[in-house]
Every structure is written in structure tokens, then in C-alpha cells.
């Protein structure tokens, strides 16, 4: 390669060795993988072409080797335990050029029905575990052929559709980046699956002898992943990603049938950084106590409309559910001669850059490169996004005004280049800091007093403090399956179930209430924040993929992220009893009480 070309290639190499781990024997030889990718990519770029259609101008290959160590315990018994590795291939082919290609177009047929059963898969394609050069070349060949056929078909439809419209969006479909080679591989300390199996068995024993609790689960998961990536522009990387977590749930029903749930979660990249056994035992005991103490508590007699204080986890959860997903750039698509819009329910900020979205004393920053906040690990840390772009620290909101959005290589009018935030197949937040001007922060006791001042001014009988909100991931996965759908009583698209809520009276007395939900919280509601707490809380979570991560997608349904936020006092929100038909409780008492 000529010296000028060599200068264009930026090479980074991070290799952290702690100790050998057996799972690394599952990873194929990097040289073989990259050679097979490069050889098939060169051949496809040179020879792949359909009659009367242009050849590909861009091809990318991604091979993911995903480990899965998963175990679930119930009352001291392991009811599920798996350990395996999956080899998944994703191929993307673009036809046309950077200015106009087959992307940013909604093909109704593919969107609703996907590819037919007799077509080769080119996203989330499972391939044999015994990978050698010949096997990988064959898999790449079949997937590339299928991807090119579909891309060419969509490109033809897009060309035909624009003949019937006056295009208002003429910015390029794809941004140009410089070649880059990056190798970010990390060896995690020795991992013994059996130790974590024994751990969750012990943790789940705490639910024994409690007939009030209908069901409970403790789950451990460890997902080491190595990703090999190459595209036709010269971007190449190998990176390791790690995720581990312990989740615990418990569920019951009152005599009237009202479902009540509690959950706990702790996540880390390295399983050895999960909380200590003592901390985990305390956390399990805490959710048991909260669940049992909630059973006989009252609910709301009438809807509450007034000031609400969200503390800790509750503040982080409502930001992740309602505000943060709107900070993601979306390209307006066209289909069959018309513009179809942004294609998602979190599109409120797409034309809002420069406008006020929060009070002027709040700023929002996303910083993927931060590994910890004080002593707490941040789950959203990463060094390369899916497209091999180094992530940037981005000021999204400054003094209340929206400055930009999180983006990948699909330009939008106000964000023309990637800021390195594509993960799980979509742009998404990573470590999101909700920062408040110190002049508008108060201590916990001062926030409570400020809440009561507002209650008095409005002549309300009490105020509301929310300390725990139902986590969206745990609800959709662990709770929904473990309760056989009974928990769906709490499911409502326009409301958020609350797990730990207190009425607060003028004398400061707090009363726990049950079976309530937060209604009609929207991105606009965040303009009504009056004060924030002095202390910042780290809410590590699995955030929902705003693009769905479903059929036909090369992404994940849930993506690790962190919200760093103070407690938040809102001026006016609505909280009500969950008022639906109640599922009947079991007719017989719980037979497992020992």
C-alpha cells in the first residue's frame, strides 16, 4: 500500500490482559475471519451486479460470537441453566451512491412480511460453530447475494417512487468516513459459572416459607461477545463486549386479586464487579419486605393531580422511558411516492433543535467514554460503536435548549455526521447525565419540604413521592413470563406502573400506597421540573431499542445504558389507581411454604 494511503488509516489497539478465560477458545482465529471477509468483499465489489442495475457501492460484514451463560433459581432450586455460544452473521449492501441509495425508504412488503422462507437470511444469520476460511466464505457469499438482491429491489422501488414527488429531503443518504482499523479486545478475569449458579440458589432461598408470595425468581446472566467487522471503505475492527447481571423478582395478589410486584437488578460488564453476597442478600430481603408491606396498604380514592417528587431509581426510569428516547436522530422516510414520517413514537425532537425542551437550569450530556461515576460502574461505556466510529461526548441540551441529537452515519438536516452512537443497530444514548444548576438543587429533606409547600399552596390534602418505578425490561421479560401474563394487568401504553409510592402529609408523615400508575407523562412534562436534588444517582439499565430490534433487524431488543440524575420535583402530574378488570387470585392457598 502506498504511503499516502497508509496515512489515512488510523490504527488503535487496546489489549487488556487480566487472566485467561476458557470462553476465549470459542472465538475463531481473527486472521482467518478477516481474510475470509476481505476476500469475499473484494470479489463482491468487483463482480456482483444485476442486469440494468448498478453494482454495490458499499458492503459491510459483521460476525458476532455471542456467549450465553444463563441460570434461573426458584426457592433454592435451579430450574434453568444454559451455557452456549452462537455465531451470528450480519451483511449490509448499499446500492446507488452516498447521495442516493436504497436506504431511508419504507418498503411496505418487507416491513410487514420480511423475506420469504426460501430466501437466504442476511441479518441475524446463524452459521456453523466450526468456522474455517471455506465455511465463512460460503456463508458470506450466500448472505451477500441475498442482501444485494433485496437492496437492488428496494433501490428500484425508491427510484420509481421519487418520480411522483417533489423531494424536500435532498441531503445524502449516507455519510462518508475515513478508513480506520481498531482492535479493542479485553480478557475478563477467570469466570466460574458454577459459582454464580450456587449464588442464585442461595439468594432464592430467602423466598422460602412465605405463602404471601405467589412466585419469585432469581436470574444470573453473562454474555461475553466478540465482534469482527469489515466494510468496503477500509473500516475494520475487532472488539469485545461484556454484560452480566443478577435480577430478582417477586409477585403476589391481594385478596381482591390486585397484582403486586417488586424487582431488583444489578448489572456490570465483569461478573466479578457485581455486588457482594451480603449486599445481594440485603437487596433480596428489601424487596420481600416491600412486597409484603404493600399488600394491605390502601390505594388512591381519587386521581391525584399535583406536584410529584421522583427520587433515585424512579427519576432515572422515567427519563429512560419518556425523555431520553427522543434524543435520537431519525431520518424521515419515503414510501410509494409519499413521505411516511419518522417511523417512531419518540420523534418529538426531530425538528426541535434550537428549541427549549427543559427548564433553563437543566443540561443533558451523553458521554460513552466514562467508565465510572464516582465508585459506581457505568453500563453505557464503550469505545467503538457498531459502525467502527469512536464515540463522542455530546452536549444534547444546554441550559434547557436542544443543541443536537445522537446519530449514526445516516445524516439528518441538523446532524450531518455520525457522533458514534450506533449500538444494537440504532443510535441510542449511553451514559446520559441529567445535570442541574447548583442554584436549583436542594437536599432530600429540602425537596420534601418544597413539595409540601406546593401542596399547601394548592390546598391539596397530601403530596406524592415516588421512589421506585416498574423497570420496562424486567416487566417485559422476567415478570411477564413468570406470572403467566397476570402482570399484564399493569400494562398500558399511556401510563407507567409505580412500585413504591407514598402519600406525604403536611406533618411529614408518609403513607405507602399500592396499585397506582403515572398517567400521560410526556417529553413536555419535563419542562415542568421545578427543582433537583443535590446528589446524583446512577440508574444502570437495559434500555429498550427505539427501533424495536425485532424481525428483520440486525440489532438487539435491549441495550446497556446508564442514566445519571438527581431527584426531580415536577410541578404537576397525574397519578391514579390502576382501574381495570382484576385477574382472580388462585382459589387454593400456596402449597409451597417451607
Model confidence pLDDT, tens digit, residues 39-74:
999 999 999 998 888 899 999 999 999 999 999 999
What average pLDDT does the chain have?
90
Joined grid coordinates for residue 261: 410486584
Backbone φ/ψ region at 399: left (φ over 0), alpha (ψ -120 to 50), beta: left
| HSE-up of residue 33 (Cα within 13 Å, Cβ side) | 23
Mean pLDDT score, 1-11: 42
Contacts of 577 (CB under 8 A, 6+ apart): 299, 300, 303, 515, 516, 517
Q: Which of 325-339, 446-460, 488-502, 549-563 has the highest mean pLDDT?
A: 446-460
User: 261 versus 589: which is more confidently predicted?
Assistant: 261
Place of cell 435451579: 78
Q: Determine which helix (DSSP H) or strand (DSSP E) holds 482, and give its type and residue range.
A: helix 480-482
Place of cell 442478600: 281
| HSE-up of residue 254 (Cα within 13 Å, Cβ side) | 15
| HSE-up of residue 568 (Cα within 13 Å, Cβ side) | 27
Cβ atoms of 538 and 378 within 8 Å: the answer is: yes
Model confidence pLDDT, tens digit, residues 365-394:
999 999 999 999 999 999 999 999 999 999
Contacts of 313 (CB under 8 A, 6+ apart): 467, 468, 469, 537, 539
Q: Is the pLDDT confidence value at 5 over 50?
A: no
User: 555 versus 346: which is more confidently predicted?
Assistant: 346
Q: How far apart are CA 183 and CA 489, in angstroms?
A: 47
Evaluate the CA torsion angle 561, 564, 566, 570 in order and state its sign: negative
Identify any residues that bridge with 239 across adjacent strands, giving them in sequence order.
184, 227
| HSE-up of residue 268 (Cα within 13 Å, Cβ side) | 15
Q: How far apart are CA 182 and CA 185, in angstroms?
A: 10
Q: Is the pLDDT confidence value at 551 over 80?
A: no
Q: Is the pLDDT confidence value at 337 over 80?
A: no
| HSE-up of residue 462 (Cα within 13 Å, Cβ side) | 19
Residue 30: band (very low, low, confident or very high) from pLDDT cuts 50, 70, 90: very high
Q: How far apart are CA 285 and CA 468, in angstroms?
A: 16
User: What pLDDT does residue 6 have?
Assistant: 40
Q: Is the pLDDT confidence value at 114 over 80?
A: no
Cβ atoms of 377 and 273 within 8 Å: the answer is: yes
**How many other β-carbons are positioned within 10 Å of the β-carbon of residue 341?**
14
Q: How far apart are CA 216 and CA 281, in angstroms?
A: 15
**In this structure, what are the phi and psi dihedrals at residue 452, rounded to the nearest 5 degrees?**
-70, -30
Model confidence pLDDT, tens digit, residues 260-294:
999 999 999 999 999 999 999 999 999 999 999 99
Q: How far apart are CA 554 and CA 426, in angstroms?
A: 9
Residue 163: band (very low, low, confident or very high) from pLDDT cuts 50, 70, 90: confident
Specify the range with the lowest mean pLDDT, choosing from 222-226, 234-238, 588-592.
588-592
Considering only CA atoms, which of 325, 1, 331, 332 is closest in space to residue 181? 1
Model confidence pLDDT, tens digit, residues 175-226:
999 999 999 888 776 899 999 999 999 999 999 999 999 999 999 999 999 9
Specify the range with the lowest mean pLDDT, choosing from 193-202, 312-321, 501-510, 584-593.
584-593
User: What pLDDT does residue 333 have?
Assistant: 82
Residue 13: band (very low, low, confident or very high) from pLDDT cuts 50, 70, 90: very low
Distance spanning both ends of the chain, measured CA to CA: 72
User: What pLDDT does residue 344 have?
Assistant: 64
User: What pLDDT does residue 86 have?
Assistant: 94
Q: How far apart are CA 177 and CA 422, in angstroms?
A: 14
User: 417 versus 485: which is more confidently predicted?
Assistant: 417
Amino acid at each position: 500500500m502506498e504511503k499516502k494511503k497508509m496515512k489515512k488509516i488510523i490504527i488503535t489497539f487496546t489489549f487488556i490482559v487480566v487472566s485467561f478465560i476458557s470462553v476465549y477458545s470459542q472465538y475463531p482465529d481473527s486472521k482467518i475471519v478477516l481474510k475470509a471477509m476481505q476476500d469475499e468483499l473484494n470479489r463482491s465489489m468487483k463482480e456482483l451486479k444485476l442486469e440494468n442495475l448498478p453494482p454495490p457501492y458499499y458492503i459491510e460484514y459483521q460476525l458476532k460470537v455471542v456467549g450465553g451463560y444463563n441460570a434461573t433459581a426458584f426457592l433454592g432450586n435451579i430450574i434453568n441453566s444454559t451455557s452456549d455460544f452462537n455465531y451470528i452473521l450480519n451483511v449490509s449492501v448499499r446500492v446507488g451512491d452516498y447521495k442516493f441509495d436504497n436506504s431511508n425508504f419504507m418498503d411496505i412488503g418487507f416491513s410487514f412480511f420480511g423475506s420469504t422462507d426460501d430466501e437466504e437470511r442476511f441479518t441475524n444469520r446463524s452459521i456453523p460453530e466450526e468456522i474455517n476460511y471455506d465455511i465463512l466464505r460460503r456463508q458470506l457469499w450466500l448472505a451477500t447475494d441475498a442482501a444485494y438482491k433485496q437492496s437492488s429491489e428496494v433501490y428500484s422501488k425508491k427510484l420509481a417512487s421519487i418520480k411522483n414527488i417533489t423531494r424536500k429531503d435532498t441531503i445524502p443518504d449516507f455519510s462518508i468516513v475515513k478508513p480506520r482499523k481498531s482492535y479493542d479486545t479485553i480478557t475478563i478475569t477467570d469466570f466460574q459459572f458454577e459459582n454464580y449458579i450456587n449464588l442464585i440458589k442461595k439468594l432464592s432461598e430467602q423466598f422460602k416459607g412465605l405463602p404471601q408470595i405467589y412466585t419469585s425468581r432469581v436470574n444470573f446472566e453473562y454474555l461475553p461477545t466478540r465482534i469482527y467487522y469489515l466494510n468496503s471503505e477500509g473500516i475494520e475492527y475487532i472488539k469485545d463486549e461484556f454484560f452480566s447481571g443478577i435480577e430478582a423478582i417477586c409477585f403476589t395478589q391481594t385478596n381482591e386479586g390486585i397484582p403486586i410486584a417488586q424487582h431488583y437488578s444489578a448489572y456490570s460488564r465483569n461478573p466479578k464487579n457485581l455486588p457482594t453476597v451480603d449486599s445481594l442478600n440485603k437487596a433480596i430481603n428489601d424487596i420481600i419486605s416491600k412486597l409484603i408491606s404493600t399488600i394491605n396498604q390502601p390505594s388512591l380514592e381519587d386521581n391525584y393531580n399535583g406536584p410529584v417528587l421522583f427520587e433515585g431509581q424512579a427519576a432515572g426510569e422515567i427519563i429512560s422511558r419518556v425523555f431520553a428516547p427522543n434524543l435520537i436522530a431519525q431520518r424521515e422516510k419515503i414510501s410509494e411516492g409519499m413521505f411516511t414520517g419518522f417511523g417512531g413514537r419518540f420523534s418529538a425532537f426531530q425538528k426541535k433543535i434550537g428549541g427549549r425542551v427543559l427548564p433553563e437550569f437543566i443540561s443533558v450530556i451523553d458521554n460513552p467514554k466514562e467508565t465510572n461515576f464516582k465508585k459506581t460502574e457505568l453500563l453505557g461505556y464503550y469505545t467503538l460503536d457498531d459502525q467502527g466510529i469512536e464515540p463522542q461526548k455530546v452536549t444534547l441540551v444546554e441550559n434547557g435548549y436542544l443543541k443536537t441529537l445522537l446519530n449514526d452515519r445516516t445524516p439528518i438536516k441538523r446532524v450531518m455526521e455520525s457522533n458514534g452512537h450506533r449500538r444494537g443497530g440504532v443510535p441510542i444514548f449511553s451514559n446520559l447525565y441529567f445535570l442541574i444548576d447548583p442554584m436549583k438543587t436542594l437536599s432530600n429533606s429540602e425537596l420534601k419540604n418544597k413539595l409540601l409547600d406546593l401542596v399547601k399552596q394548592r390546598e391539596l390534602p397530601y403530596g406524592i413521592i415516588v421512589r421506585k418505578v416498574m423497570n420496562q425490561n424486567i416487566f417485559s421479560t422476567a415478570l411477564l413470563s413468570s406470572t403467566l401474563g397476570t402482570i399484564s394487568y399493569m400494562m398500558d401504553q399511556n401510563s407507567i406502573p409505580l412500585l413504591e409510592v407514598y402519600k406525604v402529609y403536611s406533618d411529614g408523615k408518609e403513607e405507602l400506597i399500592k396499585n397506582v400508575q403515572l398517567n400521560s407523562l410526556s417529553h413536555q412534562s419535563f419542562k415542568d421540573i421545578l427543582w433537583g436534588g443535590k446528589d446524583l444517582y446512577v440508574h444502570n439499565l437495559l434500555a429498550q431499542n427505539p427501533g424495536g430490534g425485532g424481525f428483520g433487524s440486525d440489532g438487539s431488543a435491549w441495550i446497556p445504558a446508564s442514566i445519571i440524575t438527581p431527584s426531580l420535583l415536577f410541578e404537576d402530574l397525574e397519578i391514579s389507581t390502576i382501574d381495570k378488570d382484576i385477574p382472580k387470585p388462585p382459589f387454593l392457598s400456596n402449597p409451597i411454604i417451607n
